[in-house]
Structure 1
Amino acid sequence: MSQALILAKSAGRGGGALTLLEHTQHVVAAAEAIAIALGYDVRLARLGAALHDLGKAHGHFQHKVHGHELPPHEQFPHRHELSSLGFLPLFDAADWDGLIELVVAHHKPIRHDPRERGILDLQKQGGPWLTDHLLGWEQWSADGLAVLAALGIPTRPIARAEAEAALRYAVKYCQSRFKASEWSEGRGLLMAADHFASALQHQTTPQLAGLFEKPDLSNFLRLDNALYPLSQVPADDLRPHTLVVAPTGAGKTDYLFRRCRGRVFYTLPFQASINALFDRVRRMVPNGHLRMRHAMSKLVEGRSGRNVSEKLLQDKVGAAVKVLTPHQLAAVAFGTPGYESVLLDVRGCDVVLDEIHTYAQQAQAMVLAIVDVLVQVGCRLHVGTATMPTALYQEVLRRLGGPEAVYEVRLPAPVLDEFNRHEVHKISRDPASPDALPASCDALLEAALAAGEKVLVIFNTVLGAQAEYQRLKARFPAIRAMLLHSRFRRQDRAKLEEQLKRDFDDVPGPCFVVSTQVVEVSLDISFDRMLTEAAPLDALIQRFGRVNRRRTTENIGRLRPVHVLEPAPRTLPYDPDVVARSYAQLPDGALLPERDLQHHLDTVYPEVAVSDISTHVVWREGQLTEISALTNRSRSVLVEALDIESATCILAADRDEYMADSTSWDRRTELEIPVSWRTLRFNRNRQHYVRLELGSNPFVVPQELADYELLGLQLIEPDSFL
C-alpha cells in the first residue's frame, strides 16, 4: 500500500491526517534529542522510536484510523505496540531487551491494565492474541519495512514464524521484568518522545531547539535592595538543599531562584499565583523553554494570544523553567501513568517548593512523599515558607538530609520587626445571633469607607460570602464592590481576578471586596483594612498579607487594622479546635509582631498533622518497592489518596452551547464551574439536577443568569466549602 495511505493519526487530531512515516520521523527526532540531553543510549533510543509504532500498519488499526467498519475477523482487542515487536528480528539480538523496554509499554502497562490490554494481561487470558496481532503479517509487514527503509535502517522480509518467536520472547522478557521493582528509563524516554511528537507533529523538530537548556537566571541575581532583605543574604552555600523562612515581601521568590543551578521546577499551590509568577519568569529569563502547568493552564495560554506550540508544550519534558502545582509532580510518588517520563524530566534538576505551609493535610503528605523521591533521584530542593510550624519544619529538614545537606535561612529578629504591618482587633459575636455579623461591623465599615479605605471582607464559606455581599451591597449601594469565590465559571473566575487587580487594587478610593479563602495566597493585592472570620492561624496570617502588602520606605513600621470575628458555632471547613486555639493566640487592639509568629504557630500546631498516605506511595526507604517494572497504578489512586474528588456544574443557560458538537474541549472547560463532591452530596437538590453525558459530565443548575452574574453559582446546602 502507498505510504501516503498508511496513517498513524486520523484527520481532525492536530489539524490533519498524519502518515505513519511522518509520525515515526517526528518521534525519532524527539527521542534522539531527549536521549542526548539525558545521557541515554542515543542509538538505542533512535531504533526504539523507529520500531515503536510499526504495528499501526496492521489492518485492524488502519481500518479504524480511516474510519472504516472492522470486518468480522478483525474484531478483537489490538495493541499496535505489540504488533510492532514482530519486527524485532531485524535488529541485533543484543538490542532486543532494550528495544522491548522502550516499546512494549509506551501506551499500556504490561500487566494490570484497567482494560486488560497489557501484554501479560493478554497472555494470561489465553486465546489467539498473538495470532491476532500478526494477522495478515505477510501483507502489512511490507508497509512497516518501508518505514524503516525510509529511515535508513537495513531491512529484509521477516517470516511469520520469526515474528511469532519475537513476540514469545517479549512475553518471557516482560514476565521477568514484572518480578523487578524498578522504574524503566526506556519506557519513560519513549513515552516522552511519543507525547512530544504527537502533540507538536510537524513542529517537532523546530521545538526541539532549546529543549533541556539551562536557564539564564542572572536577572534574579541583580537585585540588592534593603527593602528586600533576602537580596542581601548570600546564596552560594554548597549544600544542595535550602529551607527559607521569611515574611511575604522579603524577596523570597528571587532568593529561591538564586539558589538554583540548573533547570528549575517551581511549585506553588494556587493557579493565580502560578500565572503571576510565570508572567514574571517570562520577563526575567531570556532563554529556553518556559512553561507553566496547572489544571487550567491550557486555557490561560489560549487566552494569552501566544502561539499554539506553547500551549501544546506545557506538560512535555525539557523546560528550562516550569512553574506548576506539586500535583503535576505527584506521579513520581504514586506511580501513576507517565511517572517514568516525569522522573526522567525532573531528575537532577532544581525543584522549588514554595508556600508549602498552605496545603491541607492530604496534599502536605503528598508534598513530603514527593520530597523523598526527588532527593533519591538527585534533585536539589529549595523550600520557601512564611508560616511553617516548627514540627513540620523539622520533618522537612529530616527528609532533606538534615543540616549537613540543607542551607537554612532565617531573618534576624530586628529585620523581622521591619515587617510588622498589622494591628489586630477581635470582634465578639452577638450570642443571640451567633451566625450573623454584629452591628458594630456596619459602623466600622461605614467609617472606613467614608475615609476612602479599601476594605477586604473574608468569609470561610461561599454561602456566607454570597449572603454578606448581598447585604453590604444593599447597605452601601454607591460604593464600588466585588464578590470573589471559587464558584464562578472558569472563564469568569479569570476575568474577576484580572478585574480585582485592575479596578480595585490599582485604583484609589473607597471600595469593598467580599471573598473566600481564594485570596489568601494567590493574588498580589493590597487593601487598607480587613474584616475576616476566624480561621486557622496560618490561614489568617496569609489573609493578613493582603493588607498593607506594598513594601516601601514610607510604609515600613506603619500599621493597618485587621478585624477578626470570634469563631462561630460552626467553623467549616476548618477544625473547630484549631480555629479556637488560633483565635486565642491573637492580640486584641495591638500589634501582631512578626518575630512572635513562630511561637504562636507552634502553640497552635505542636505536632505534625499529616495524613497517612503510605499505602498509596510506591517508594519505601528510597527504593521503588510497591510497583513492578513497566507497570503503573491508575490515576484514581491520586483521587483516593488526596481526597480531591471533584465535580463540575454548568448553568442551564450554557447547556445548549456545552452540548453542541462544534463546541471544543477548551470552550466546555471555560463554561464549567468546579464544585466538590462533598458539597454536592449534601445538596438536597442534586437529585433533581440533570447530568450530561459528555465532557466532564457536569450537573446542569437551573439558576437564572442574572442571579449568577451577581452572586456566582448558588446551591441550596447546609454548608458551602471553598
Structure 2
Amino acid sequence: MKTNRPILAKSAQRGSSPLTLLDHTRQVKAAAEAIAAHLGYEVRLAGLGAALHDLGKAHPHFQTKIYGEEVPLQEQFPHRHELSSLGFLPLFDRADWPTLVDMVVAHHKSIRHDARERGILDLQRLGGPWIANHLLDWETWSGEALAVLNELQLSVALREVPRTEAEAALRYAVEHCRAQLRSAEWSAWRGVLMAADHFASALQHNTDKQLQGLFDKPNLGYFQQRTDNKLFPLSQTSADDQRPHTLVVAPTGAGKTDYLFRRCRGRVFYTLPFQASINAMFERVRAAETGGHVRLRHAMSKLVEGRTGRDVAEKLLQDKVGASVKVLTPHQLAAVAFGLPGYEAVLLDVRGCDVILDEIHTYSDKAQAMVLAIVDVLVQAGCRLHVGTATMPTALYHEVRRRLGGPAAVYEVRPPDEVLDSFDRHEVFKIPRNTEHPEALTATVDTLLRQAFAAHEKVLIICNTVLGAQAEFERLQREFPAVKAMLLHSRFRRLDRAELEKKLTAEFDGQPGPCFVVSTQVVEVSLDISFDRMITEAAPLDALVQRFGRVNRRRSPETIGKLKPIHVIEPAPKTLPYTREVVLRSYAQLPDAALLPERDLQHRLDIVYPDLTLADIDTHLIWDQGELIEGALTHRSRSMLVEALEIETAACILAADRAEYLNEKTSWERRIELEIPISWRTIQYNKNRQHYERLDFGAAPFVVPQPLADYQRLGLQLLEPDSFL
C-alpha cells in the first residue's frame, strides 16, 4: 500500500540521517556525469543510467526492510532492487537500452554465479515467479518512482509504464545478459555506474564538493626540479625518453623514487609490496604538494592510520576513483586481472595512467605471478608502467621487459659500474652458529651490541618472524635496560602502527644513539631510516639487500666511501618463512669480514635465482590474449583471490578494546583502527584459537585476552605458524 513516508535509498549510517531515494539518485547522477565527462563517455547516457539504477528501491519489499520492519511471510523472496529498476526501461529510447542494462543490472552482483544465486541469470535458471515478484504491486509503487524521475528533470517523456511493458523489459534484460556472456570485451558502462554509486554512497551530501578536482593530473614539479645532484645519480639521468615504460635498477639512495615520478606524465598509481611501507610513501607524496586528490589505499582499511583532525570525506575517498596520486599495494589492483567485484571501475580509474611498481621482486612466487598478470592487463589498458628496484634477478628482469613490449617500448636505466662503486657502503660479517653451544651465538651478538652502544651507535636488529622479534626484544631489554629500545612488526593495532613509524623516524633515526630497534621484514621497503649497524637473521639475498639499505643510507660527501658493519647470522635449521635452499644459497654469496661490492650484486643474485619460477595462476585470470574469458557483467568473488594467492587475512582485537568495538556509537573508522591484521594461517594454527571469542560484527575479529600492558610492550602475541604476513 502507498504510504506518506519518504522513499528511502539508505538507512541512517555514520551518524547521518536516512537518505531519500531522490537525494541519493541526484548524487549518483552528478557523480556519473562528472566521471563520464572526465573519461570521454557520453554524459547524457551516464545521467540516464544513474537516474534509473535505484528506482527499484521504491518496491515495498525494499522499503519494508529499510524501515526495519518484518517482511510478511508471503512476500519473502529474493529481491534485487536493480531488477525492479529495469521495469522502467520503456521510458527510454530503445537504442539506449543495451547501455542502460549494462549500467543497472549488475552494479551490485554478477549476472550469473553470484554467491547467493541472485544474479539475473541465476534467478532465470532457478525458475519461479521472479519477474512477478520484482514487479509486485507495480501499479502502486511505480508512481512513486516516477515522481523521483520527474524531480530529476530528465529529457525523457514520463508516463505510466503498464505491467506488460515492464515484464517485457525484464525479459529483454535476460536476453541481453545472455548475449553479454559471449562478449570478449568488458563493460565500461558498468564501471561508470559502479564508480559513481560508490563515490556518492560514501560522500552523500558532500558529493558535489568532492567532485571538484577529480581526475586532475598532479603537479609533479617538486620531483621534476630535484635534478643534477651528484649525490643522487638518477637526478642527473634524463627522464625525457619517449618510450612509454621504464625499468630502473639502482641502489637504495640513488634517487629512484624521484626519478620514477619524473617519468610520469599523468595521474599516478604508486604501488609498494607491503602495507607497512605505504604510509610513509603517502606522507612523502603529500609533502610534495602535488595538488588534486592524494589518497592511500590499504587492503583492509579505508583510512590512514592515526590521522586526526581531517575532513571525514577525505577518509571516505581513499578507495574511490579519480585520485591524482594513489598509493597502494598491487593487491588493490588485482581486481583487474582476476575479475573481482568492481574491476571495471578500477580499470576505468587506472586506464591510461602512470603506474609505478616499486620493488617488484619482493613477492612470493604466487604474488609475483599476480603482479606480472596485472602488468599484462595494465599494458592492454594503455598505462605507462615504471618499474623500480634495487635488486632484480636477470630472469625476472627479462620477463618484465618482455611483457612491457621489449626494448622498443621500455626505457632501461641502470647506473654504470663506476657509479655503483660509490654506493659501496657495507662491510659484511658472518656470525656462525655453534650447534654444541647455542649460547655462543647470544654471547657474540651481545658483545657486538656492547661495543656499538659504547660508540653511541644506532643498531637495527632484524628477525624473520614476529615471534622471534618479540623474544629477542624481551631478551635485549633485560640485557641492556638503559639503552633506548623499540620493537616494530606487523601485529600492532593500525592506530599504533602509524605512531610507531613516526617514533622510529623522529626519536631513533632522527636522534643520535645509542639505541636499538628490533624489527621484522616491515622495515625492508620505503621507510627512510638510516642506522649505523645491523644484525640480521639470514634471508634471501634480495631481502637482505633491502635490509642493508637501512644502514648507512644517507649519502653525503662525508659518508661516501665509508663502510658500516652488517652482521648476518648463519641460517638456522628452520628458515621460516623463507625456503631454506634459497636462504643457504644467499648466505653462501655473502662475503665475510669484507666489502659487499654494489657492482657484484647482480651476479650474486643470478646465482641465487638462476631461473624464474612462477606459480600457475592462469586458471584464476579472466583474460586470454586481452579478451574476456567469461564475458561481460560477471565477476568472481574476492575469496577466489585469497585462495589463489594464499593471502587470506583475519583480524584480532584486544579484549580491552572489545566494548568499544561493539559499541554502536563507535564509527567504522575507529573499529578499523582497533583491528590487528594477521594471516589466517596464524590464527588457524594457534593452539589457543578455540578459546578466543570471535565477534559476529565488523570484520569478525578474534578477541585476544592479552593484557594491555603486555601488548603495549610487545604487540599481539600468538603462536607462530609456518608463514609470515
* Same-fold call, TM cutoff 0.5: yes
**Equivalence map 1:481-500=2 (5 Å):** 481-500=485-504
Q: CA deviation at 1:13?
A: 5.1
Return closer, same or farther for 1:4/1:692 CA change in 2, 3 Å cut-off.
closer
Q: Which residue number corresponds to residue 26 of structure 1?
A: 27
Counterpart check, 1:358 vs 2:362: yes
Q: 2:430–2:593: 8 Å Cα contact kept in structure 1?
A: yes
Q: Deviations over 1:494-534 (max 9, x none)?
A: 22222111211111120111111111114211110011111
How far the C-alpha of 1:720 sits from its partner, in A, is 7.2
2:43 equivalent in structure 1: 42
Equivalent in the alignment of 2:210: 207
SS of equivalent to 2:604: helix
1:157 aligned counterpart, secondary structure: coil
Matched residues in 2 for 1:582 and 1:36: separation?
53
Kept in 2, the 8 Å contact 1:291–1:313? The answer is yes
CA contact (8 A) 1:423 1:592 kept: yes
The range that moved more, 691-700 or 494-503, is 691-700
CA distance in 1, matches of 2:395, 2:271: 22
Aligned partners of 2:464, 2:719: CA distance in 1, in Å? 17
**Counterpart-to-counterpart distance in 1, 2:98 and 2:722:** 57
2:490 and 2:516 map into 1 onto residues whose CA distance is: 18
Matched, 1:655 2:658: yes
C-alpha contact 2:10 2:18 (8 A) present in aligned 1 = yes
Cα deviation digits, residues 141-177 of structure 1 (max 9, x gap): 1111111111223201111111111111111111211
CA distance in 2 between counterparts of 1:253 and 1:717 reads 34
Query: CA 1:170–1:416 in structure 2 vs 1: closer, same or farther (change >3 Å)?
Result: same
1:455: which partner in 2?
Answer: 459
Structure 1 residue 434: Cα displacement: 4.5
Q: Report how far residue 104 of structure 1 moved.
A: 0.9
Match for residue 380 of structure 1? 384
For residue 358 of structure 1, report the CA deviation from its aligned partner. Answer: 1.4
Which aligned pairs between 1:501-520 and structure 2 lie closer than 5 A?
501-520=505-524
| 1:340-489 equivalence runs, <5 A | 340-434=344-438, 437-489=441-493
- Whether the aligned pair in 1 keeps the contact of 2:431 and 2:567 (CA below 8 Å) is yes
- Paired with 2:649 and 2:70, the residues of 1 have a C-alpha distance of 37
Do the aligned partners of residues 657 and 21 (structure 1) sit closer, same or farther apart at CA in structure 2, a change above 3 Å counting?
closer
What does the per-residue CA deviation read over 1:450-494, in whole Å, with 9 as the maximum and x for residues that have no partner? 111111111112222222212211111111111122222222222
TM-superposed CA distance for 1:712, in Å, is: 2.0
Classify 1:485/1:35 alpha carbon distance in 2 versus 1 (closer, same or farther; 3 Å): same
Match of 1:596 in 2: 600
Q: 1:641-673 deviations in whole A, cap 9, x for unaligned?
A: 111012222333333333333333333332322
**Does structure 1 residue 313 correspond to structure 2 residue 317?**
yes
Q: Is the counterpart of residue 560 in structure 1 residue 564 in structure 2?
A: yes
CA deviation vs aligned residue, 1:91-120 (integer Å, no higher than 9, x gap): 111111111111111111111111111111
Q: What is the aligned partner in structure 2 of residue 328 from structure 1?
A: 332
CA RMSD in angstroms comes to 1.8
What corresponds to 1:672 in structure 2? 675
Summarize deviations over 1:226-246 as a string: whole Å, max 9, x none: 111111111111111110111
CA distance in 2, matches of 1:197, 1:490: 27
Which moved further from structure 2: 544-553 or 691-700? 691-700
The 3 A distance-change label for structure 1 pair 674 and 278 is closer
The SS at the match of 2:304 is helix
1:164 aligns with 2:167: yes
1:381-409 Cα offsets, whole Å, 9 max, x none, are 11111100000000000000100110101
> Does structure 2 conserve the Cα–Cα contact (< 8 Å) formed by 1:111 and 1:120?
yes
2-side partners of 1:254 and 1:3: how far apart?
A: 60
CA distance in 2: counterparts of 1:717 and 1:631, whole angstroms: 38
Partner residue in 1 for 2:579: 575
For residues 613-666 of structure 1, the C-alpha deviation after alignment (integer angstroms, 9 at most, x for no partner) is 1111111122222x2211101111110111101222233333333333333333
> Which one of the candidate residues 593, 616, 622 is aligned to 1:618?
622
Q: Secondary structure at the match of 1:5?
A: coil
Provide the rounded CA distance (Å) in 2 between the counterparts of 1:562 and 1:302. 33
Match of 1:95 in 2: 96
The answer to whether the 8 A contact 1:456-1:514 is kept is yes
The answer (yes or no) to whether the contact 2:306–2:495 under 8 Å persists in 1 is: no
For 2:688, the equivalent position in structure 1 comes to 685
Shift of 1:435: 8.3
User: 2: CA distance between counterparts of 1:190 and 1:32?
Assistant: 10
Distance 1:680 1:169 in 2: 48
Distance 2:72 2:22 in 1: 25
The alpha carbon displacement at 1:433 in A equals 4.0
Superposed CA deviations along residues 284-341 of structure 1, whole A, max 9, x for unmatched, are 2443221111136534266242211111111111111111111111000000100011
Letter in 2 for 1:372: D
Does the 8 Å contact 2:306/2:496 carry over to 1? Answer: no
**Contact 1:435–1:569 (Cα < 8 Å) also in 2:** no
CA–CA distance in structure 2, aligned partners of residues 423 and 321 of structure 1: 38
Q: May I ask how many residue pairs the two structures share in their alignment?
A: 721
Query: Contact 2:299/2:331 (CA < 8 Å) preserved in 1?
Result: no
What SS is found at the alignment partner of 2:687? coil
8 Å contact 1:7–1:65 — kept in the other structure?
Answer: yes
Q: Contact 2:306/2:498 (CA < 8 Å) preserved in 1?
A: no
Q: CA deviation at 1:181?
A: 3.3
Letter of the 2:571 counterpart:
P
Question: Residues 71-90 of structure 1: matches in 2 within 5 Å?
Answer: 71-90=72-91
Which residue of structure 1 aligns with residue 68 of structure 2? 67
Residue 119 of structure 2 aligns with an amino acid whose one-letter code is G
Contact kept? 2:11, 2:17, Cα under 8 Å? yes
Tell me, yes or no, if the aligned pair for 1:301 and 1:310 is still in contact at 8 Å: no
The 8 Å contact of residues 305 and 494 in structure 2, kept in 1 or not, is answered as: no
Structure 1 residue 203: Cα displacement: 1.2
| Matched residue SS, 2:601 | helix
Determine if contact 2:685/2:719 at 8 Å carries over to the other structure.
no
Structure 1 residues 571, 39: closer, same or farther in 2, change over 3 A?
A: same
Is the CA contact (8 Å cut-off) linking 1:652 and 1:701 kept in structure 2? yes
Distance, in Å, in 2 between the alignment partners of 1:499 and 1:603 is: 38
Distance (Å, rounded) in 1 between the aligned partners of 2:689 and 2:674 = 19
1:111 match = 112
Shift of 1:680: 2.9
Q: How far is 1:77 from its partner?
A: 1.1
> Which structure 2 residue ranges, 5 or more long, are not aligned?
none
Secondary structure of the residue that 1:356 maps to in structure 2? coil
Cα distance, 1:257 vs structure 2:
0.9
Give the direction of change, closer, same or farther, for the CA distance of 1:313–1:461 in structure 2 (3 Å limit).
same
8 Å CA contact 1:463, 1:719 repeated in 2: no
Provide the secondary structure at the position in 1 that maps to 2:568: strand
Alignment of 1:184-199 (within 5 A): 184-199=187-202
CA separation of 1:696 and 1:435: change in aligned 2, threshold 3 A: farther
Amino acid at match of 1:336: L
Which whole-Å CA distance do the structure 2 matches of 1:306 and 1:188 have between them? 29
| Alpha-carbon spacing, 1:183–1:302, altered in 2? closer, same or farther (3 Å) | farther
Tell me the distance in 2 between the aligned counterparts of 1:28 and 1:302.
34
